[in-house]
Structures are given as C-alpha cells and as structure tokens.
Amino acid sequence: MNLGLLVTVILVLAIAGWIIGRQRAVASVKGDIRKLHSLPGYYGHIVFLATAVPSLLVVVLWILVQPALIESRVANLIKPSDIPEGSSQSLVMADVRRIANGLDAVVAAGLPEDQLASMRADFSDVRGRLAGVGVAIGSNVSNSVFIAAKEYRSAIKSSAMMMTVAALAIALAGLAWSLTRIRPEFRARNATERFTMSLLIASSLIAVLTTVGIVASLLFESIHFFSIYPASKFFFSTVWNPKFGGGSDLGILPLIWGTLYVSFIALLVAVPVGLMSAIYLSEYASKSVRAVVKPLIEVLAGIPTIVYGLFALITVGPLIRDWIAMPTGLGNSSSSVMTAGIVMGIMVIPFVSSLSDDIINAVPQSLRDGSLGLGATPSETVRQVVLPAALPGIVGAVLLAASRAIGETMIVVMGAGAAARLSLNPFEAMTTVTVKIVSQLTGDTEFASPETLVAFALGLTLFVLTLVLNIVALVIVRKYREQYE
Amino acid sequence: MTVEASLFTLDAKTKARKTAEARFRLYGVVAIAVALLALLWLLISILSGGLPAFRQTMLTYPVTLEEAVLDKSGTRDPVALSKVTTVAYTKILATSLAAVIAEKGIAPEGMTDKDVADMISQESAATLRSKVLADPALIGTTIDFTALASGRIDGYLKGRVSRESAALDKNVSPVQLELADNLQKAGILDKRFNWGFLTAPDASDKRPEAAGLGVAIIGSFYMMLVVLVLSLPIGVAASIYLEEFAPKNRLTDIIEVNIANLAAVPSIVYGILGLAVFINFMHLPQSAPIVGGLVLTLMTLPRIIIPTRAALKAVPPSIRDAALGVGASKLQTVFHHVLPLAMPGILTGMIIGLAQALGETAPLLLIGMVAFVRDFPGGLPGGLFDPAAALPVQVYNWTNRGDPGFVERASGAIIVLLVFLVIMNAAAIYLRRKFERRW
C-alpha cells in the first residue's frame, strides 16, 4: 500500500473512531450527557489520539529506520571481490539501488515476476534489458550484485508490506482498546489532556535532540578525522592543500585567516553604516521617516544570501576588479576578499542597525534631557552620553553581526574564491571555512578519507566559534538591558 | 578687533559646535542613503540581469515531416518510430529552415547548411520528436513549429553577443547573426514570453536556452510542504509548552537556552547535520525533498518558536484568568482562548520562517539537492523520495556553468524566488495588519 493511502486510511480510522467514541459515550448514558464525567467530545478525542498517534509514529520511525537496515543487510551480500578496482562499496551500493529501480521498470514493461526471480546476470543480458527501459548501468553487472539488487528490491517490498500491516494493526488496536474504555465515569478529559501534554513536551524536546544531533554528528566524525590526521597539524599548519590521492595538507589557519579577514571587512562596512543609521533613526528622524526607512533597511536582512552571492559574482566582483584592483595592480581576480566583504557588509547592516536602535532607544530619556539641559547639542549628547551608556549593548550587536558574518556561506562561496592563502592584500582571492566545508562535501568521495572528514572538523570549529560569539553577545546585551529597569 | 559675544552674532566656538552638529546629522543621512542605495543597487542589478530570461528567441516556420526520414517502413509502428533518433529530427528542422530561407532569398553571403542548422537549439529536435511520437499521424504533413533558437542567437538579440565577440566565438559566426537579423525582419525569428523557463526542467550545460525551473519549483514546493507539515504543529506545541506550562527547572532552562542558540547556528552546520544523520546514518535517499525538508524543518523550528512565544505572551493574562474562572482546565484555556487570539501572530511568524527556509541554500548544497532531473518528480507523497532540485540551489548550480547564458537564467531564477518571497512577506504583513489588536 502506498504511503499516502496508508496515512489516509489511518486518519479515516481515527476520525471514524472519534465519531464512534462520542456516540458510545452518549449512548452509555442514554443521551443524558450530564451523567458523563467529561464533555462527549473528549471521549471522541481520546479515541482519535489513541488510533492516530501511535500508528503514525510507527510509520515515521519505520521510514527513518528502514533504509539503514535494508542497506546493511544487502551490503553483506556483496563480497570484497565484487568491488572493482578504484571503486568503493558505496558506489556499488548505488548501482544496486539503480538496478533494483530498473527491475521495477522491467517488470512494469511486461516481465513476469517468477521469470525475474530465476534470472541470472551471468546468463542473460541484464544491462541490455535495463537499457531497454531507460536505466543506464556503467559496467556489466556481476551476478552477486544482481542478486543483491533483487534482494534489495524484495526487501523494500516486504518492508513496505510489514510497515502497512504493523501500522494498521496498531491503529486498530488503539481504536479497539480506547473504545472498550468508554464508560460514563471514564475521566476522558484528564486522559486527553495528559496525552496532549506529553505531545507538547515531546515537541519541545526536539530542540534538545537537534542540538544533540548537531554536536554528536560533528564530534563523532571529527574524532574519526583526528584519528587519521594529527590534530596538531590541523590546527597549526599554514598549508591547505587537499589531494584526492591522499597525502594532503589540511591546515586550518589559512581558512581561519580568510574567514576573519572577510568578516572584518564586512564589519568595517556594516558597523559605521548600521550604527549611524540607528543613531539618526532614533535621535533625529521624524516618525514618518522612521516608519518608512526602518523596514526598508530590514528588507536587507530578509533577502536570501544566494541573492547576495549572485550580486557579488556578477556585479560587485567585476566592478572592483576593473575599477580598483586592476588599475592599482593589486590583483586581477573578480573574486576577492574585498568583494565578499563588501557584499556581506551590506547584508549585515540591518543586524547592527536594528539591535543598536533597540539599545539606543532603551537609554532613558532623563539622561538626554539632563545633557541637553546643560546646553549640549544633540550630537554632543549622543556622543558623550547616549553612546557610552549604550556601548555594551552595541558591542553585543556587533558581536552578533560578526557571528553571522563568520557563519555565512553563499556570499563567500560565490564571492571570495577558493584559493587558501595567508595574505594581507584584500584584492586577492582567499577562502573561508564555510567555502571549504561546501567544497569538501560536494564531491563524489568516500566517507572515510581525511579529505572528506576534514569538513566535519571545520564544521565543529565553526560551530564552536559562532556559539562562543553568540553566547558572549547575548550575555552582554542581556546584562546591559537590565541596568535601567 | 574682538567681537563681543552677543545674541545676534555667533562666536567661533558656537559656530564650530553648530557645524559639528550639522556634520553629525549628515553622517546619519549618508549612512541611511548608503544602506538604501545598496538595496536599490542590488535589486536593479538582479532585475536587469534576470528579466531577459523571461523572454526567449524563437523561430516559427513550417516544418515538413518527411515520411522518408521519419518512418521508412511507412507502417507507423511505434517501436520503429521510437528508433528514429533526434539526429534525424535535427536534420528535418534544418532542411525546413533552409527551404524557408531559400524561398525568401534572405541567406547572407557565405552561409553553409551547417550554419543554418546551428541556429536551432538541439532541444527543439527532442521536442519535435516527442510531439511526433505522441501523434504519428503528423508524419508526412507540414506543421507550423516553434523552435528555440540556439543560446548564442538568443544572446545576440538580448545584446550579450555582438558581431565582434562572434568572430572570436567558435559556437557562433557573424554570418549567423546577419541571418538572424534577416529572419527577424522576415518575421520568422522573434522574442516572446518564455513559459519554458518556468515549466521546463534543467538542461545540459551547453543549452542555456532550454533550461527551466520546473523541477526546482516543484522540489522547493515539496520541501516547503514538509517544513510546513512538520514545523507548524511541532513549533506551536513546543511554544505552548514552554510559554504556558513549563515549570522553571533545569530541563526547561536547557531547552530555552538551546532554542536561542539554535536560532543562531550557521545554516551550513544544519547541512552537515543532515548529511551525517539523515543520509550517512539513516540512509534516506540523497537529493530527496524529504531530506531537504527535514533539514530545513530543524533549522526553521527555533525561528518559529521565538515569534510564536512572543505572540502567546502578548495575549493578556486577563483572558486566561477569565477562562480559568468559569471552570476551564488549563489546556482548555490555552486551546480555546489563548491560541485563537495568538493565531495571527503565529501565522505571521510561520510565514516569515517559511520564507527564510525557501531562500536557504547552503545546507541543501551539502545534501545534494542539485540532482539533474529530466522528468518531473512523481506525485505526492512518492515524489518526496525522488531526486529533485531546489530553487536557490538551482541558481547556484547555474552560476557554476561556463556558458554566459546561464548567468541570465540564474538572475531570472532569483527574480522568481524573490517574487515568492514578496508574496509570502506581503501575506505576513497583511495578516499582521488585519488582526493587529490592542488590549
């Protein structure tokens, strides 16, 4: 049974359960609902929940777990001798899946199932048959791979069948069990509320699970990486030179340098612009100007980063190359630290300006009145009273913006280039941690080589770096805000 | 001579302070101008680069589907018909075009048959082939066919290719450009609205003229569906628990700090999480909208929980007290009274969260949402497990290709993406305005 149908059937069962549950409750007191403990609807609710929730949970878990189980079972059928020179188990498994899908098409094109079961790769032309239904296989299919593919196909089929049976059985069991419990004195509301409450708590725990997932996946693979590549070389080497054949130099320092350099230029653009516009908007601008300009600046934060990336690639990059870098002889590449930095600075402006604006507004009016009353001009008040009072909060805002800049990916992928180098010249292409995470993980490489696993170590570094910045920033902002309350 | 300080003449120091004041105000105005100009520059650059993608150069002329080439046996046997490759169709398109050119006498000097054939996109032969296979009765007749012009000819009409650049380009010659001018005058070649850009799947990196966003739009739609179905109930449930019921203890403290931190984790880290957990550990299919949707859900959840909690907090306690006072249970209070009142705020937060998820690229790049798919992914829900592409990732993918025609496509795709975002944000603003209330 296909998934959509299964879910529909379960939901129909649950809704029918709701109606029957309610009716049974009303019938059990012969229509006098004052004798029921709860409102009749609650008797329906509990049947609905008992029918739908456990069975849908089973379906979801099954879908998440099934591929891993089948994969490992089928992988056992493939002997090391079946893996061609220069290939890997995962590539062979990809072939297995492709053949399995192709077999479905072959059957759909008119081959009887029993004939397929007796088909052998060494006697019949499997590759030709698959090509006939539009599935291209690179090399000839060895028999054990073909058997694995057949096994894979039947495993998927039987697993889907078992899931359907299990889910329906659980739904029916839940339905029957909850219906038998309906009596006038059954505390249906309390039961429903306990059930709902546990769903609410489970939902909030997903945030914790996500964090555990992030930390575990980063740590697990990073430990794997450090077991085959020395940590001291990773953290202190100044050479980044991954090679596919092995023997790579994977020093993080040039990447960290590029990341910090780009972020620094971004802040150089964003802090003055963001801060001055926040000051103007909160101290000088009229209400109507503020109502128009503030949301317009915030639009900058809502634009997807891929848009900024394309902007850097097709507009800012060539402009900087042709007008600044080439005439001064500082560089001739359209992707440079400067390009990525400026564009990222534009993106970060609203982060600085909105938060600074909030913080400047939180400075009590009495401080301004005092300063103005002593004869200071508005700008003197801002510079000598408001800004010092707001300074910790502004520092927090800048740190938050910095963490955004450090973790930003698409702008640097498209604007900064891919060359890892330690250089002071901002018109040269450099690269960042996020760029390298993307480039190390988007190839067709085996997941056991240090060249791929290094991405997880880079990710861990990035995660820790931004986390520390965020926490420090939040602590500063929060601490400052409490001062005037 | 010293000037006495007076009310009517300013002394030097006051003047200096006044200019300092004016300068400071100017800095503020300049800063705002810089920010707004940057926004304007960004939008103009994307719009001017991308709008041409919505218009495409096409050739409309009568094509004679010769029986001798397409169906040698004359039996209209589908198996025999499907053996005829696109090469034969390319030839038919080319000879028909050459015939039209000869008839009108507009062939420029030095034009070869191959030059004529290269004016037409390879993609058109495939289109014509599937048209004939769908309706074999067409064979032997002459039909009016609209073929895509090749990418370089399209670039010429849009000003990307000039006679000078064509002389250096091995894919196009100045003679072809002259013919294009003549054809345009004869009304055979023109630019028209390009539906294919919105509906067609991606094309190979030599045929920018045929590349479309169809698969990417469907892939993005499926992912948004997953995000919506998962993150709305989970996000609202988590917010309700944390805002209304959570006791103050170690566990809920951890959850709260966690959510604040998750909202600030770089998006690419979610990509690593998805790759490690969903693909390497659970072996869910790569490039499938279900995986992309799950990753984006995890990323969007904290961004939904924060505004939802704010919306719940904004409902005044008096509403809760009144409900509790007439005997409602705590859950009844929340579900019957607080939640409906907070719904507009929740929906606004939800739409904005979805809009952010729609534009997210980096995590999807890691889980490989760049599948090159010629056929549209299957219908719901099976399509959730088929390979697909996503809008922003398609943009990135196109920018990595050599042909300059793809840059135009990428900008065009961004316009489509921005249109979706504007619609979503407008809906959010409308909801906020419509249901805004003061207690």
Q: What is the ipTM score, two decimals?
A: 0.89
Which of chain A's residues have a Cβ under 8 Å away from the Cβ of B240?
200
Cβ distance of A197 and B329 shorter than 8 Å:
no
Burial A173-183 (b: 16+ CB within 10 A, else e): ebbeebbeebe
Largest CA distance in chain B: 115
Average pLDDT across chain A, whole number: 86
Query: What pLDDT is recorded for position B273?
Result: 92
Q: Is A136 on the interface with B (CB under 8 A)?
A: no
Specify the 3-state DSSP secondary structure of B189.
strand
Cα–Cα distance between B131 and B137 in angstroms, integer? Answer: 10
Range from A64-68, A115-119, A297-301, B435-439 that averages highest in pLDDT: A297-301
Model confidence at A425, pLDDT cuts 50, 70, 90, reads confident
Model confidence at A86, pLDDT cuts 50, 70, 90, reads low
pTM recorded for the entire structure: 0.89
Pairing type for strands A249-250 and B142-148 reads unpaired
On whether the CB atoms of residues B384 and B288 are closer than 8 A, the answer is yes
Nearest to A400 by CA among A341, A361, A344, A351: A351
Read off the DSSP letter of residue B285: P
Tokens of B129: 């082939």
The mean pLDDT value for A287-301 works out to 91
Which of chain B's residues have a Cβ under 8 Å away from the Cβ of A281?
28, 32
Tell me the residue type at B230.
L
Q: What is the Cα gyration radius of chain B?
A: 31
Does residue A380 carry a pLDDT above 90? yes
Which of chain B's residues have a Cβ under 8 Å away from the Cβ of A213?
273, 277, 298
| Nearest-10 crossing angle of helices B214-240, B391-399 | 130
Cα–Cα distance between B133 and B78 in angstroms, integer? Answer: 7
Nearest to A367 by CA among A341, A337, A389: A389
Which of chain A's residues have a Cβ under 8 Å away from the Cβ of B38?
300, 346, 349
Cα–Cα distance between A279 and B28 in angstroms, integer? Answer: 7
User: How far out from the chain centre does Cα A32 lie?
Assistant: 53
Which of chain B's residues have a Cβ under 8 Å away from the Cβ of A211?
258, 261-262
Number of H helices, E strands in chain A: 20, 2
Read off the DSSP letter of residue B108: P
Question: How far off is chain B from A208, nearest CA to CA, in Å?
Answer: 6
On whether the CB atoms of residues B56 and B29 are closer than 8 A, the answer is no
Number of H helices, E strands in chain B: 20, 3
Which of B273, B312, B429 would you mutate first to test chain A, the one with the most A CBs within 10 A?
A: B273
Bridge partners for B61 per DSSP: B145
The interface residues of chain A toward chain B in range 198-237, judged by CB-CB distance below 8 A, are 199-201, 203-208, 210-211, 213-214, 217-218, 220-221
The minimal CB distance from A306 to the residues B29, B355, B395 is found for B395
Burial A355-387 (b: 16+ CB within 10 A, else e): bbbbbbebbeeeebeebeeeebbbbbbbeebbb
Query: What pLDDT is recorded for position A259?
Result: 93
Nearest to A252 by CA among A460, A478, A476: A460
Per-position DSSP letters for A244-294, written without gaps between them: TTS--EE-SHHHHHHHHHHHHHHHHHHHHHHHHHHHIIIII--HHHHHHHH
Cα–Cα distance between A442 and B366 in angstroms, integer? Answer: 6
Cα–Cα distance between A80 and A373 in angstroms, integer? Answer: 86
Tell me the residue type at A183.
R
Cα–Cα distance between B430 and B97 in angstroms, integer? Answer: 53
Q: CB under 8 Å to A175, separation ≥6 — which residues?
A: A13, A14, A17, A47, A50, A51
Surface-to-core class of residue B78, CB atoms within 10 Å of its CB (0-12 exposed, 13-18 middle, 19+ buried): exposed
Cα–Cα distance between A160 and A156 in angstroms, integer? Answer: 6
Which of chain B's residues have a Cβ under 8 Å away from the Cβ of A201?
241
Q: What is the full per-residue pLDDT of chain B (439 aa) written as tens digits?
A: 555 667 777 788 888 999 999 999 999 999 999 999 999 999 999 999 888 888 888 888 888 888 777 777 777 777 777 777 888 888 888 888 888 888 887 777 777 777 888 888 888 888 888 888 888 888 888 888 888 888 888 888 888 888 888 888 877 888 888 888 888 888 888 888 888 888 888 888 788 888 889 889 999 999 999 999 999 999 999 999 999 998 888 888 888 888 888 988 999 999 999 988 888 888 888 888 999 999 999 999 999 999 999 999 999 999 999 999 999 999 999 999 999 999 988 999 999 999 999 999 999 998 888 777 777 777 766 678 888 889 999 999 998 887 888 888 999 999 999 999 999 999 988 888 888 777 6
Query: What pLDDT is recorded for position A123?
Result: 64
Query: What pLDDT is recorded for position B180?
Result: 84
Cα–Cα distance between B171 and B153 in angstroms, integer? Answer: 10
How many residue pairs bridge chain A and chain B with CB atoms within 8 Å of each other? Answer: 268
Nearest to B335 by CA among B231, B436, B241: B241
Which of A73, A91, A343, A409 would you mutate first to test chain B, the one with the most B CBs within 10 A?
A: A409
* Predicted confidence (pLDDT) per residue in A431-477, tens digit: 999 999 998 887 666 667 888 888 999 999 999 999 999 888 888 87
Specify the 3-state DSSP secondary structure of B242.
helix
Question: How far off is chain B from A237, nearest CA to CA, in Å?
Answer: 24
Q: What is the Cα gyration radius of chain A?
A: 32
Cα–Cα distance between A149 and A143 in angstroms, integer? Answer: 10
End-to-end CA distance of chain B: 67
Cβ distance of A470 and B261 shorter than 8 Å:
yes
Which of chain A's residues have a Cβ under 8 Å away from the Cβ of B284?
64, 67
